[in-house]
Chains A and B, each alone.
Chain A
């Protein structure tokens, strides 16, 4: 598998995502369902707390990547849905928030403000696509 990260000089180099990622050659695709901040009864964890829900989601995604033989370095698409974009951006920028992604291998990303997730207590949902060698 051959992977390339492209950040065309005409566009601002964004610190938290890659603009373009290309992949060719034999590879394994890993699709991860939207992860919500939910416990083993599918109830919200850390009600109202963006930072804790974010870290809980990212920890849960780390588990799933590992289960598929992948790491955060392999993530090529990250989609983030949240009830409050500003609250989440503040948490992601906060230096005390746990860091998961490697600066040199940031995925592409889309962040969207939404009116509701599957439980009214879920503040954030993140789904991923990762690609590793076949």
Chain B
């Protein structure tokens, strides 16, 4: 598998995502369902706490990447849905990010009106690609 990160010089180089990622050759695709800040009964953890919910989501996604034989370095698409974009961005300044600083995934962040439980403040889904 041949992977390339492209940040065209005409565009601002964003610190937390890559502009373009290309992958070719034999590979394994890993699709991960939208992870919510939910406990084993699917109830919200850390009510009202963007930082706590973010950290819980990252922990759960890390477990799932590992179960598929992947790491955060293999993530190529990250989609983040949140009830309050500003609150999440503020919380992200104080947390340890799991992504590779030099080669982060592509990303889309969207403010939404509701997730599947009114207590969920953030949801994140991922696509990762590893060697076959």
Contacts and interface: CB of A to CB of B under 8 A. Distances in A.
Interface of A: 4, 6, 8, 10-12, 14, 17-25, 76-77, 84-86, 89, 108-115, 129, 131
B113 interface: yes
Nearest to B127: A77
Tier of interface size on chain B: 20 to 34
A113 B26 contact: no
Contacts of A129: 31
Given A6-B64, A12-B38, A25-B132, A110 B28 contact: no
B79 interface: yes
B67 A23 contact: no
Contacts, number: 90
Contacts of B41: 12
B60 interface: yes
A22 B40 CA distance: 23
Contacts of B67: 6, 8, 20
A111 B31 contact: no
Contacts of A19: 32-33, 64
B41 to A, nearest CB: 7
Contacts of A109: 33-34
A122 B15 CA distance: 37
